[in-house]
Structure 1
Amino acid sequence: MDGRDVGLGRRPAGADRPDGLIGDDAAGRGEALRQAAGELAGHHRLRLAGQALRLALADADDRRQAGGQRRLGLGQHHGVALAMVGAALGMAEDDVAGADILQHRRGDVAGMGALGRGMAILRPDGEVRPGLAGDEVQIGKGRADQQLGGRRPRRPGLHRRGQGSGLGEGAMHLPIAGDQRAHSGGHGVLHCIRDPYRAGPGLATGRLLGYGSRPTRARNPMLTALRRLAGTWFAKVLFVLLILSFAIWGIGDMARNLFAPDTSLARVAGQPVTFEEGQAAMRREMQRLSRQMGGQFENDPRIRRALAEQAVDQIVLDRVLRVETERLKLAVPDAAVRDYVFAIPGFHGADGQFSQALFQSFLRNNDLSEARFLDLLRADLARQQIAMAVRSGAAAPTLLTDRLLRWLDEQRDVTLVSLPIAAAPEPPAPTEAQLQRFHENNPDQFSSPEYREATVAVLTAALLSQEVTVSDEDVAAAYEARRGQFETPERRRLTQVLVPDAAKAQEIAAAWTGGAPFDAIAAQAKAAGGEALELGEVDRAGLPVPELAEAAFAAPESGVTAPVQSPFGWHVFRVEAIEAGQSRPLAEVREQLRRDLAQEKAADIAFERANKVEDALAGGATLPEVAKQFGLGLATVETDANGLGPDGKPVALPVIEASRAPLLKAIFQAERGAAPRLQETEAGFVAIEVRKIVPPALRPFDAVEAAVRAAWTLDARRHAEEERAAALLQATKEGKSLAEAAAAAGLGSREIGAVRRDPQQEAAVPRELLAPLFELKLHEATMVQTRDGFAVAQVQAIAPGDPAADQEGLERLKGQLNQALAQDIDVALLGALRARSDVRVNPRMLDSLAQP
């Protein structure tokens, strides 16, 4: 079609002849300006024709689809229930079996509408298309002057307008461009249309000419709008977002678990070590240390950190070995666990047998259940199986032990000359130029240290304890809860007889009360099938059965108890001595308890307040502001790393004396200009703002002239002694003995024999001389600088060790080597097992475990 023809139409494309068929003599419009096929390509460049192409409208020679290769097309939509049911009228070169939806957007743009009418939408009868059987009509220069394809009808009887019956029961979508049918050969066949609204048979041309017609059914505008909206990109994106929202909602729990922070202390082979396990292990370690150290145990951050690492490492080790035992399918029978428990000496009672009471006491003291202890013991036995299997061949070769003993027991006789700096002659007085040069050549000795001006805010329990009030009721309650700390229980030194028969026990008690000696009582007990033994000093808790404790602690000193029965037999005790218990009353320890409680409460407040301080600093508050608001200690100081100011005097820091060194270390680790952040140190919670850094600088000579003169004199004396030592060493290289060279220089010498490698031996020679001395050959000499001067030594004799003469030392060395080899094997084994188990420790949770 011609681009100028586009403006002629305002309605959908349809038949443009008075008879409703495609042709050139359209009613009321005039014919198309140009329709030659060869002219179509040129008109694509015209504005209106190009617009039609962009809108995906019909066009000749557009075989498969209108517009650009179905970018906006929805494919073949014979079933899409829009305003049409079938396909529109086909045009030449329109190969698609069904028209695209977008081919019908504005049919009037193409200007091919019938006069005053829209297109007629009729349903086709199956695959039959209307045509004139054997009567094809040339349409002149219709469209591309090609054949309007259509399949021949399945039955004859189709006629021109006004001839014959209708086309059957189906309606037909009049063909348009982009809807080309199969060719039938020759020119295009005239297509007839049946009026869908006309009762009875008839051709559609009657409707087009005004007879037998009915009004066109109205479309539903809302439904049409929704259908159009469903094909837009906006609707597709909305649909995708809807799917994603349901997907995320459905897997929300899984996503939260996937991205949630790991709260385990460690993972061994993917299995977590829980925080509760670490707390229990650390609590047991702290209880053990507390029992061992008593009142000397201090729960400071360094100890807590070390205990936390030790507890986690022990759990990880247990897990690693458990994984290996499972891999090797090792099993520890219950009988082996039971025998091992019964063999532990700490669980033996006075009769030498396993004591259930002692066993339960051990479990309580170590915060263990019986099942947990047996599990740990079973794991330890399994680990011993693995370790013993691996280290069974760890034995040091005899050749190694012999040579090593010879090397260790080697002895040397030496001649020694000592040259202390204090004994050096006085050097001549230095000149001013010499002092100036010495001052310049040794800036490290005469420079001021680095100074830092910093504002420091500290939050400690000692500061906060001043805000804490501890009532007398709190002190009394703490005293009752901690009474064991202030009481020393009564202790008694006991002797016991244990026999299986009550009558024999009664006889022994009578004899003992009558003054029989212990040897006679022991013989009597042995004859009765029992034994007599000394228990030593015990308190009430040291006796396994309450009835035994009651009887033993009720008797007077030197008294003998009546026989007392227990699960082990019949007991008779004699009290040899009594150490009375001591109890410190509340009045004596009241202030100490008050301070301790205040410190404990202040520590809890410190952690709560630290979070608020961090929030305030993050919000931009300055250190003086947060110190005033939250009661922190504050100071602005200019100090060196030793806590001295430019005047050489100690600066005042807002911490106790024991915390000065950690605070100074934190000051010199902070960065200048960095925003202050609250951090936990050994000095407490500390926030530091470094304002200025003064680098080291050489002090003026006039200010340090006295120090320069003293240092020059000391250096001159050291240099003189070094020259004398070097002269002695040179003399030995020239063939003289060290004693002869020393005598020639007016110096004394000493002869020292049997010098060994052991640095723990009595200091016959300077410690700095031992290592180089045993590297020398016979009659060689060496010189070293010592703490107070110089020393020169010459080897006079070498005596290697003799394994045959020291069999005891050889066996001892062999045992040490075997143990060292076994430990090396254990370390290598555990390292390999840890690597295989993919051990991962969580530093964040480890820090939390170390917190009080």
Structure 2
Amino acid sequence: MKTFRRLSKSKVGTGILILFLVLILASFAISDISNFRSGGSSLPQNTLAKVGDAELTAADLDTAMQRRLAAVRQQNPQATYADLAGDFDQIVDALIQERTLWAYARKHGFTVSKKLIDAEIVKLPGVRGLDGRFSEANYQNFLRSERLTDAQIRREIETAILQRLVIAPLAANTRLAPGIARPYADLLLEQRSGNLGLIPFAAFTGGPAPTAQELQAFYRQNAARYTVPERRSFRIARITNDQLGAVAPTEQEIAAYYQQNQATYGGTEKRVLSRATLPDQRAIAGIVQRAKAGGTFAAAAAPAGFSASDVSVGPQTRAELAAKAGEAVAAQVFSAPAGSVIGPVQSSTGFDAIKVESIQASTGRSLADVRGEIVEKLSADKRKNAIADLVGKIEDALADGSSFEEVATANKLPVLATPPLTRAGAAFDQPDFKLPPEFAGVPTASFDIGADDEPVVEPLPNEAGYVLVDVVEVVAAAPAPLARIEAQVRTDFIARRAQDQANAAATRVLAAMDRGTPMAQALGSLGQAGVRPPEPIEIRRGALAQFAQQGQEVPPPLRILFTLAPGKAQRAAGPSGIYLVKLDKVVPGNAATNPQLVASEVTGLQRSAGEEIALQWIAAAQKELGVTRNDDAIRAARTRILGGAPVN
């Protein structure tokens, strides 16, 4: 749940379009809406919900969960679907909200043009080629990496644009009166004072050494703490350029590539032109006659009503002229020498008279100048194609029944055998073992392969080649042998005993305080070395917000201080001991002289109000469209994806 909420605060923009869309909609907390649910339904088994005419299918949910897991694994490579149990219901609800927006827009004729969606696709990362233009091949690679189809990404982009145009303005334009924020500002200025004591765990770490029976019992009771996660041993065969031999382009291929890319290497010729165009061919013929007779083209065109600025076209490439006048005109102009007058010639706008004032020669590079970079480019392409062919050959051999050993031997692949590794690549039995850096991601990518499954080919990052991976053994998760971790168990036992004793001491101190004994006296009566006298504490409620601004949790003692009534005391567990918090005095806040604080609270409340309005809009849209949930299918999907994982 916390991870989902944190990611849901991402900004809406070009980059967000590559994330799974429910996070965009969840930025308005719309996943909290739970109205219009139905226990049973007449929906097909694979349809989880229907909003108007828009359906949420099991395949849609599978795609969203896969992408969610991929995002979580960027922070925690060992994450599994079980770690998403707390997010499951929110993801389902948010997907339904996405369909609500899409269906509502379709019903009311609010559509997003294909041209606008294409413009957003061009902005996606990695879809442009080396020339800076959209590359269909790169776009297909992007879809494969995101596990999406073209239709799916277009649907997501369309809904994201609708969200930006429909829902975002609702939330952004909310306005509240300052008087509504005043009580909240007063609350932030509230000041509390009291006493803070600490009973440190370290004060109780002495005592007799634990017996073998105590350690054995503690080990059994805390078996989960000492469980080593599932591990798998692999055989990894690297597929690299070393297996390809010499790969180099021929001279004919180099020359052909140079000719095919003249726009890049050959440069572009430009011609400075003067041009007059009219629908009257005779008038244009008069301009041509006068221009050929001598003088400037501007003077020749003046009798027809043209000024000098009207006929001055300036430098033009052949493509630019073709776009203005047509390819037939461009062909004549770019085959004529400087000073030539062409016309009358029929163009896309009428009849033209054109003079080639001067020629700006292309500034291209010769084949000799660019041969090195062409060889490098073609060699890289050949290696990429050759290794792709080799991977295809290996996959075909595996499909035909060849074993890992046979494929590795036939293709001279170097093989690395690993000890049992966790998903993160750690070797519990051989802590000094380190995977080569290029194989660091192999366990994570291949951890779901079973010992009885066929070997698979996995890509290495940064286009470093491929690896053929075979799982040799699967070691189930199990507690580590006590004999091996006895020192750790002994340390943990002593720490737990100290915590229990510190808690018991805190109980005695709180009981004494309830009878009216001051905290200092109650702590002193413990007679325990290492327990210090309490310290005074005084803080305003608004200071707690600083912890959140710095991405930190509010310390438990401070959090408890603002839940107590005056004269009351309570304990709070900390990392180094048990805190005792007693509240003595509360001074109410008064924001009458702090207009900046009131204004800040107005801003915060307007944001919350905007989110609420967005919620209400979605709820109203759902009421109009009608929402049907197939709860049986949703529960089945949860079981299929998460297994028996509990809700967080």
TM-score range, shorter chain: 0.3 to 0.5
RCO comparison, higher one (Cα < 8 Å, 6+): 2
What is the TM-score normalised by the length of structure 1?
Answer: 0.37
Structure having the larger proportion of residues in helix:
2
TM-score by length of 2: 0.47
Larger Rg: 1
